[in-house]
Chain A
Amino acid sequence: MSKPSSFAGDLSGLPTHAFGARSLTWWGVIAYMLIEGTAFALAGASYLFLMSQEQNWPPARLPDLLAGTLFTVVILLSELPNIILKKAAEKEDLAQVRRWLIILDLIGLLLLVIRGFEFQMINVRWNDNAYGSIAWALLLLHTVHILTDWVDSAVLTALMFTPHGKGRRFVDVSEDCLYWRFVWLTWLPIYLLLYWAPRVA
């Protein structure tokens, strides 16, 4: 403490927030995506493992395609507004960010409604047999992601309508868009497993 320190440089000119891999939030989001991605992969592997043990798959009626396919189309299309929102956030364009956040919140709500029908249309209950259990597990696991992301986006939307909606909050919006990409990307293999693996097997 007594000796004066020698300095090699000054940090005061550095920016206080940035997007993507430069921010701490991005690394946190990526790490959680790895965790949840691993859980999805292992749940998918469990499905295949149980399938490999059975002579007849599925040991129940085939799942109806309508709700699941509709869900897939809507969630794929949601990437378009998601791209617009992410770009707006990175340009720190508050008006656009507010508008597209609301639109994505509404899409999330629509997806949750379709998901409700999906649970009806897979034609098996969780307690019928192991096939029903793993099918419900995959669907539930993904629904939890839709739901948590929806709550998260709703909170962010509210936040962007307060005076806090500036600076680092745009980074949060951008990372939320990244996470949404993860949510729909993980859906694609689950869709194939749930609806097409029984048809091919």
Chain B
Amino acid sequence: MTRPEDLPRDGPALQGEELHRRLSVTWGRAPGLWGWLTTVDHKEVARRYLITALAFFSFGGVLALMMRVQLATPESGLIDPDRYNQIFSMHGTTMMFLFAVPVMEAMAIYLVPLMVGTRAIAFPRLNAFSYWLYLAGGVMIWIAFILNVGPEAGWFTYVPLAGPEYSPGKRTDFWAQMVTFTEVAALAVAVELVATIVKQRAPGMSLDRMPLFVWSILVTALMVIFSMPAVALASGMLISDRLVATHFFNAAEGGSALLWQHLFWFFGHPEVYIIFLPGLGFVSQITETFCRRRVFAYPAMVAALLLTGLLAFGLWVHHMFATGLPRLGYAFYTAASMAIALPSGVQIFCWIATMWESRPRLEVPMLYVIGFIVTFVIGGITGVMVASVPLDLELHDTYFVVAHFHYTLIGGAVFPLLGALTYWFPKMTGRMMGKRMGLTGFALVFLGFHLTFMPMHFVGMMGMPRRVYTYPASMGWEGLNRLSTVGAFVLAIGLLVFAGNLALSLRRGRLAGPNPWNAASLEWAPASPPPPYNFAHIPVVGGHTPLWDDHGRLTYMSGLRVDDRELLLTTAIDATPDLREPSPTPTIWPLLAALATTGLFIWSIFDPWAVVWGSIPVAITLTLWFWPKSREPATEPVIE
């Protein structure tokens, strides 16, 4: 038997090219299609998530343009009301479930293991499984939509409109199962991220030295864990009302339509923050790099993230002001909705303070940060406005609300995302994005956005309700609607310029090197793009800005195995080295398990017994996934 001291490990005796060669064999994957289908590398899975989410973003965008064309003129007959219902439902569903949450997860899956200095994400097979499920759910709902069985009751699918009586056929069932797909995927990713952040941080990266992006992802993942079960439960109840005649939402048999609204918004409101908190994380990282100093008041920033996460669970009822509530309920949820502006305000002031004290480099990512601050503050202010019940009752279900949440979601999440993509593109691809196209794209996106959504505030105050497929000419809404439509096309051209820049830079961009922006966090230490094992040696962290401290010279820990996938686990708070644990190898079973699960979910739309019979292949594939196949990883005798 091999003695532990004879096993190859990284260290003074094994480094440089030889170590790279051997780690690449251990952590690499099989070539060709098989390797592609079986990979568990977090960077590869993240890239897939990213590309898929951006594809759905463009599909959702095309739907938005279709709506804008329809609304540009009154009494337009371009799109009939039934198709229009499906279009706005698919727009919201696609943007929330298939773009916004997955794209933020994609960034986290790629960046978090690199930022905390580990070789792989926790539970990498679960990660691969989650991607396949997400893909299957997204493809399913889009095929349904193309076949004219797309969802039709809006992205929040209120009953009784979505119940068996008013939404016959299979349209809403597809929506409900799409939710199941995406929630199972999102919850799996949240579990992986929490475990990675808590247990796999580099030695010395105590909680109070964690990059702010990692903090934002930790809070986001916890919010996913506590909020997404609500929508999974609600959509389960909805589909069973429709398929097996339960009465959860049927008032005639003691059910309640408000039960749907409570469960949906208990998820739906935190959902907004699940999308927006990673955006705050991007902003903090970008601000730090381009101002070349730590973000002002780190403890206040962390406290603000935690407080936002907590408060986000206390204000779901503000979506239900129009349903009638007890007085105390109105007062409480108004207060909570206004209170959540405070932690956001604290962060905004901290970023401004960071910029104030420095001379920010106005590179493209930084411009998106400034665009974010301007836009998000406007969205935040309209948010405080509709927290007030009398005003909300006036503006509820009008275009004012549409304007408000696009300011918070595009301003608060998409702007930071575009900045983040520009910022981390060199890390992911090894090349820089073109600056001139980047500037053009930013200008068009910023201008186009405000041109589209600013007029919606006014048309909303003039009484235009959302989700109407047309309006009479006599209402006087035409001019503002036409302006919005022009803006939407400017915005779309801006996004096309951004996408063109991505595609061109992939081949022709300037070579980046490991740390082109001279940033401080660990993801910039390895080569760009990083090798499959991320770090040749596990880095040691002694401060908040490891690559700026000590003239960028990192020190390392040696001694992880080179012939087997091994991770360092550290303690949860102080990140002192504790264990070496093996990390799972590539396998086809997550894909097969995802296929079996897809079969179960889609079959169950047509036959409730699928839940029984369809779970057998799922159980078989999961068992084979977990069953150890090769030699035991412990060729090393147990010495502890």
Docked CA distance A126–B237 (Å):
11
> Which residues in window 1-23 of A have CB below 8 A to B?
1-2, 4-18, 21-23
B-contacting residues of A (Cβ < 8 Å)? 1-2, 4-18, 21-24, 27-28, 31-32, 34-36, 38-39, 42-43, 46, 49-50, 53-54, 59, 126-134, 136-137, 151, 155, 159, 163-164, 166-168
At the interface, yes or no: B245 with Cβ under 8 Å from chain A?
yes
Q: Tell me which residues across on chain B come within 8 A of A23, comparing CB atoms.
A: 569, 579, 581
Contact (A7, B579) CB under 8 Å given A24-B122, A24-B195, A127-B245: no
Q: Tell me which residues across on chain A come within 8 A of B254, comparing CB atoms.
A: 50, 53-54, 59, 129-131
Interface CB pairs A-B, < 8 A, 5: A8-B203, A8-B555, A36-B229, A130-B246, A155-B626
Q: Are A133 and B246 in contact (CB under 8 A)?
A: yes
Contacting residue for B558 out of A11, A17, A35, A166, CB 8 A: A11
User: With A16-B582, A126-B244, A164-B628 given, can you name 8 additional A-B contacts, CB distance below 8 Å?
Assistant: A5-B556, A16-B640, A22-B571, A27-B194, A46-B233, A49-B256, A159-B628, A168-B634
At the interface, yes or no: B355 with Cβ under 8 Å from chain A?
no
Contact (A16, B636) CB under 8 Å given A24-B581, A42-B229, A137-B237: yes
Across the two chains, which residue of chain A brings its CB closest to B191?
A31
Across the two chains, which residue of chain A brings its CB closest to B258?
A49
Docked CA distance A54–B252 (Å):
11
Q: Please tell me the size bucket of the interface on B.
A: 35 or more
Q: Are A12 and B559 in contact (CB under 8 A)?
A: yes
Docked CA distance A140–B632 (Å):
38
Q: Are A22 and B255 in contact (CB under 8 A)?
A: no
Q: Tell me which residues across on chain A come within 8 A of B198, comparing CB atoms.
A: 27
Q: Are B122 and A28 in contact (CB under 8 A)?
A: yes
Docked CA distance A132–B246 (Å):
8
Between B226, B228, B250, B554, the greatest number of chain A beta carbons within 10 A of the residue's beta carbon is seen for: B226
Nearest CB of chain A from residue B594's CB, rounded to whole Å: 17
Contacting residue for B11 out of A7, A46, A53, CB 8 A: A7
Across the two chains, which residue of chain B brings its CB closest to A15?
B640
At the interface, yes or no: B492 with Cβ under 8 Å from chain A?
no
Q: Are B638 and A167 in contact (CB under 8 A)?
A: yes
Docked CA distance A40–B4 (Å):
46
Contact (A50, B259) CB under 8 Å given A1-B20, A7-B12: yes
Q: Tell me which residues across on chain A come within 8 A of B142, comparing CB atoms.
A: none
At the interface, yes or no: B507 with Cβ under 8 Å from chain A?
no
Docked CA distance A96–B580 (Å):
27
Across the two chains, which residue of chain A brings its CB closest to B190?
A31
At the interface, yes or no: B199 with Cβ under 8 Å from chain A?
yes
Docked CA distance A59–B20 (Å):
70
Docked CA distance A127–B252 (Å):
12
Docked CA distance A132–B245 (Å):
11
Contact (A14, B122) CB under 8 Å given A5-B15, A7-B12, A24-B195: no
Docked CA distance A185–B393 (Å):
43
Nearest CB of chain B from residue A20's CB, rounded to whole Å: 12
Q: Are A17 and B556 in contact (CB under 8 A)?
A: no
Q: Tell me which residues across on chain A come within 8 A of B4, comparing CB atoms.
A: 12
Contacting residue for A15 out of B190, B194, B579, CB 8 A: B579
Q: Tell me which residues across on chain A come within 8 A of B99, comparing CB atoms.
A: none
Question: Top 5 nearest A-B pairs by Cβ distance?
Answer: A12-B559, A15-B640, A130-B254, A133-B246, A11-B559
Across the two chains, which residue of chain A brings its CB closest to B554?
A5
Q: Are A43 and B233 in contact (CB under 8 A)?
A: yes
Q: Are A1 and B229 in contact (CB under 8 A)?
A: no
> Which residues in window 528-543 of B have CB below 8 A to A?
536-538, 540
Across the two chains, which residue of chain A brings its CB closest to B634?
A167
At the interface, yes or no: B578 with Cβ under 8 Å from chain A?
yes
Q: Tell me which residues across on chain B come within 8 A of A17, comparing CB atoms.
A: 579, 581
Q: Are A12 and B9 in contact (CB under 8 A)?
A: yes
Nearest CB of chain B from residue A141's CB, rounded to whole Å: 9
> Which residues in window 624-640 of B have CB below 8 A to A?
626-628, 632, 634, 636, 638, 640
Q: Are B247 and A129 in contact (CB under 8 A)?
A: yes
At the interface, yes or no: B187 with Cβ under 8 Å from chain A?
yes
Q: Tell me which residues across on chain A come within 8 A of B12, comparing CB atoms.
A: 4, 7
Nearest CB of chain A from residue B297's CB, rounded to whole Å: 30
Q: Are B579 and A22 in contact (CB under 8 A)?
A: yes
Q: Are A6 and B553 in contact (CB under 8 A)?
A: yes
Docked CA distance A200–B7 (Å):
66
Q: Mark B363-374, 1 if CB is under 8 A from A, else 0.
A: 000000000000
Docked CA distance A19–B627 (Å):
20
Q: Are B256 and A42 in contact (CB under 8 A)?
A: no
At the interface, yes or no: B232 with Cβ under 8 Å from chain A?
yes
Docked CA distance A13–B17 (Å):
25
Q: Are B233 and A42 in contact (CB under 8 A)?
A: yes
Docked CA distance A9–B12 (Å):
11
Across the two chains, which residue of chain B brings its CB closest to A9?
B557
Across the two chains, which residue of chain B brings its CB closest to A147?
B615
Q: Tell me which residues across on chain A come within 8 A of B194, comparing CB atoms.
A: 27, 31
Q: Mark B169-200, 1 if CB is under 8 A from A, else 0.
A: 00000000000000000010011001100111
Nearest CB of chain A from residue B9's CB, rounded to whole Å: 5
Q: Are B558 and A7 in contact (CB under 8 A)?
A: yes
> Which residues in window 497-518 of B have CB below 8 A to A?
none
Contacting residue for A11 out of B15, B187, B226, B568, CB 8 A: B568
Nearest CB of chain A from residue B582's CB, rounded to whole Å: 7
At the interface, yes or no: B262 with Cβ under 8 Å from chain A?
yes
Contacting residue for A129 out of B228, B253, B579, CB 8 A: B253
Q: Tell me which residues across on chain B come within 8 A of A164, comparing CB atoms.
A: 628, 632
Q: Tell me which residues across on chain B come within 8 A of A32, comparing CB atoms.
A: 191
Nearest CB of chain B from residue A133's CB, rounded to whole Å: 4
Docked CA distance A32–B226 (Å):
10
Contact (A38, B225) CB under 8 Å given A1-B16, A8-B540, A126-B246: yes
Q: Tell me which residues across on chain B come within 8 A of A136, comparing CB atoms.
A: 246
Q: Are A8 and B556 in contact (CB under 8 A)?
A: yes
Docked CA distance A129–B256 (Å):
11
Docked CA distance A126–B244 (Å):
8
Between B241, B246, B627, the greatest number of chain A beta carbons within 10 A of the residue's beta carbon is seen for: B246
Q: Tell me which residues across on chain B come within 8 A of A126, comparing CB atoms.
A: 240, 244-246
> Which residues in window 254-307 of B have CB below 8 A to A?
254-256, 259, 262-263, 266
Contact (A38, B558) CB under 8 Å given A1-B17, A53-B256, A167-B632: no
Across the two chains, which residue of chain A brings its CB closest to B232?
A39
Q: Are B578 and A130 in contact (CB under 8 A)?
A: no
At the interface, yes or no: B577 with Cβ under 8 Å from chain A?
yes
Contact (A133, B255) CB under 8 Å given A16-B640, A49-B262: yes
Docked CA distance A137–B237 (Å):
8
Q: Tell me which residues across on chain B come within 8 A of A132, comparing CB atoms.
A: 246-247
Q: Tell me which residues across on chain B come within 8 A of A5, comparing CB atoms.
A: 15, 536-537, 554-556
